[in-house]
Chain A
Amino acid sequence: MNITLYSRREWIALAILSALILIVFPATMDIFRLNLVGKYLTYAFVAVGLVLCWGHGGILSLGQGIFFGLGGYCMAMFLKLEASSPENTAIQSTPGIPDFMDWNQVTELPFWWVPFKSFPFTLVAVVVVPVIFAWIIGAAMFKRRVGGVYFAIITQAFAAILTILIVGQQGYTGGVNGITDLRTLLGWDIRTDGAKVILYFVNAALLIAVLLVGQMVRVSKFGRLLIAMRDKEDRVRFSGYDVANFKMFIFCLAAAFSAIGGAMFTLQVGFMSPSFVGIVPSIEMVIFAAVGGRLSLFGAVYGALIVNWAKTSFSETFPELWLFAMGGLFIAVVMTFPNGLAGLFRSHVEPLVARLLRKPVVAARETTTAAEPAKLAAE
């Protein structure tokens, strides 16, 4: 009855996903498409966090854009400062500060921007700032036993507040345009094709690492407690657990995942703006997880890829219809296949694959001992 990190079936699923991201996409796509897939994959970080937090723990956050955005902004602040060296900004009235500050009559770098001159600080801040934010929201809500729809609405309110704050404080945040014109990372030009390929692989590797961490949580007793909390929160309390602490941890972990995605988004796309922070992107992220299957970590990645791919193709032809299509998709998923694509795969594709594999195997076993695929089929 020992618990292993992955069952055989899940190892295969991980191998297929890794092969797809690390080999198939880079081998078949031009740099423009690959960069686009890299952008989609940054949303997968958020979706993976939501699978743990929402799918397993029952905590629906409609504000994951907050953490995606904070992670992205932390990275963008560093890149912007690097792009705003006194030489590059000599034509400004105050050289050495980001251009949007200069346009807004800010004459001095705000104190909270200063630490972002350091790359190690930025790397830490990318994760720590959103986690602290999540911890504060979590402590305020979960300790007071605010849950369910109320929690979802409050996270949405926070997403709206943060957007308004960013847009309103133009001189410090770049306002509605966001932080743009990012060029180099420690002197390395991130806009070249070569850099984009490398960043794609860094992003893919980080995503696989996040999937592994997520799986470690999922198979631990913590993972089973999440399901228990979702089903019978009171019983968990009366089994001697402080439920609020567990909720805060998983909410912070989901925030950390989102933040890594946000930072990678900034690096690959080259800017960060409030349009990735607010309510609409936050809800879209929930839809990625729902479509992929809210109980499946891998499903979340496929969900993010498929919905974003659909969004790109659809909105190229019918830009004004996309939001309706997205809403329809969400309703369809919830009504007809609540466990998303992963659920459909499990109920329809897997038995089929098992049947197809079993036939040749039975024949093979009569002659030789082909045990390996037989096990695969039995899984």
Chain B
Amino acid sequence: MQQANTAPASPAPKDFLLSVEGLTVSFDGFKAVNGLSFYVDENEIRVIIGPNGAGKTTVLDLICGRTRATEGSIRFRDQELTRMKEHQIVHAGVGRKFQNPSIYEDLTVFENLELSFPRGRGVFGALAFRRDAQVIERVEEIAETIFLKDQLDTQAAILSHGQKQWLEIGMLLIQSPELLMLDEPVAGMSVSERVKTAELLHQIIKGHSVIVIEHDMKFVQDIAHRVTVMHQGKVLSEGSMDHVQHDPKVIEVYLGH
């Protein structure tokens, strides 16, 4: 499945990791996402771009179950996500990073990662959970990847903005999801943090399928396999970065500004 269909006309749902079809969500009559369809392959890095209010974040909210779809379907492997609860979607293998770093400020870096470790997720599992060698090893491994190895005992609240973003990425990684969804991972970062984050993302996207929302075009060009351009809740254009950059419709609504 290296070459995916550019036109999502007759897709065979089983072949894609994620198939979004006819997805619509309406907030009091306003359709934030309107009949959206797109497909993500295994190991594909998909970037969603679009002007503010295009519905990008809403799409991620719909996939991870934070918002319920009004119509349409989201199939992840052979599971229908629109009917599942948030934690079940996580168990199915979908991880989500929020736009603003969403971490547990009162806990340490270690504890933040430990809570995201996929074991002891039931009430009694959490009571019986032991911090054994496997957990410690995995937390340290992830902490190394996200440049926070020396900060394991630091309270998350006092990390810098960039470090908080990394920590949340780490919390996602430790879940070992098959599909990672990142909402503006480099927003608000300093230049040096941005470079490191790009490096980090390059490293972690190997072996994962990733959906990224990003505004930084250089960054998008750098990582994207395919780009979906959204406008007013619909797909405006889809294809390689090169393709969408030269699409007159895209130039008009977005890149041209």
Interface residues of A (CB under 8 A from B): 1-3, 216-217, 220-222, 224-225, 227-228, 230-232, 234-243, 245-246, 249
- Whole-angstrom CA separation of A113 from B66 in the bound complex: 47
Residues of B within 8 A of A232 (CB): 102-105
Residues of A within 8 A of B111 (CB): 224
Residues of B within 8 A of A220 (CB): 126-129
Interface residues of B (CB under 8 A from A): 64, 66, 85-87, 90-91, 95-96, 98, 102-107, 110-111, 114-116, 118, 120-123, 126-129, 131, 136, 171, 175
Question: Are A249 and B104 in contact (CB-based, < 8 A)?
Answer: no
Subset of 15 A-B contacts with CB under 8 Å? A217-B127, A221-B129, A221-B131, A224-B111, A224-B115, A225-B115, A227-B106, A232-B102, A235-B104, A238-B102, A239-B115, A240-B90, A240-B175, A242-B87, A246-B123
- The number of A-B residue pairs with CB atoms under 8 Å apart is 89
Question: Are B106 and A231 in contact (CB-based, < 8 A)?
Answer: yes
User: Given A231-B105, A238-B90, A242-B87, do A221 and B175 touch, yes or no (CB 8 Å)?
Assistant: no
- Whole-angstrom CA separation of A220 from B120 in the bound complex: 11
Question: Are B107 and A239 in contact (CB-based, < 8 A)?
Answer: no
Question: Are B104 and A222 in contact (CB-based, < 8 A)?
Answer: no
- Chain B CB count within 10 A is highest, among A216, A230, A237, A238, for A238
Given contacts A235-B103, A242-B122, 11 further A-B contacts (CB under 8 A): A220-B126, A220-B127, A222-B129, A231-B106, A232-B104, A232-B105, A235-B104, A239-B171, A241-B87, A242-B87, A246-B126
| Cβ of A338 to closest chain B Cβ, rounded Å | 14
Question: Are A231 and B90 in contact (CB-based, < 8 A)?
Answer: no
Residue in chain B with minimal CB distance to A220:
B127
Question: Are A238 and B96 in contact (CB-based, < 8 A)?
Answer: yes
Question: Are A1 and B131 in contact (CB-based, < 8 A)?
Answer: yes
- Whole-angstrom CA separation of A224 from B64 in the bound complex: 24
- Identify B102's interface contact among A227, A235, A243, CB under 8 A: A235
Residues of A within 8 A of B96 (CB): 238
User: Given A1-B136, A222-B123, A239-B90, do A228 and B115 touch, yes or no (CB 8 Å)?
Assistant: yes
User: Given A3-B131, A222-B127, A249-B123, do A238 and B86 touch, yes or no (CB 8 Å)?
Assistant: yes
Question: Are A237 and B123 in contact (CB-based, < 8 A)?
Answer: no
Question: Are B107 and A224 in contact (CB-based, < 8 A)?
Answer: yes
Residue in chain A with minimal CB distance to B95:
A238
Question: Are B118 and A225 in contact (CB-based, < 8 A)?
Answer: no
Residues of B within 8 A of A234 (CB): 66, 98, 102
Residue in chain A with minimal CB distance to B177:
A240
Residues of A within 8 A of B85 (CB): 242
Question: Are B102 and A237 in contact (CB-based, < 8 A)?
Answer: no
- Whole-angstrom CA separation of A163 from B106 in the bound complex: 38
Residues of A within 8 A of B171 (CB): 235, 239
Residue in chain A with minimal CB distance to B118:
A240
User: Given A220-B129, A221-B114, A246-B126, do A241 and B104 touch, yes or no (CB 8 Å)?
Assistant: no
- Identify B64's interface contact among A231, A238, A246, CB under 8 A: A238
| Cβ of B174 to closest chain A Cβ, rounded Å | 9
- Chain B CB count within 10 A is highest, among A224, A239, A241, A242, for A239
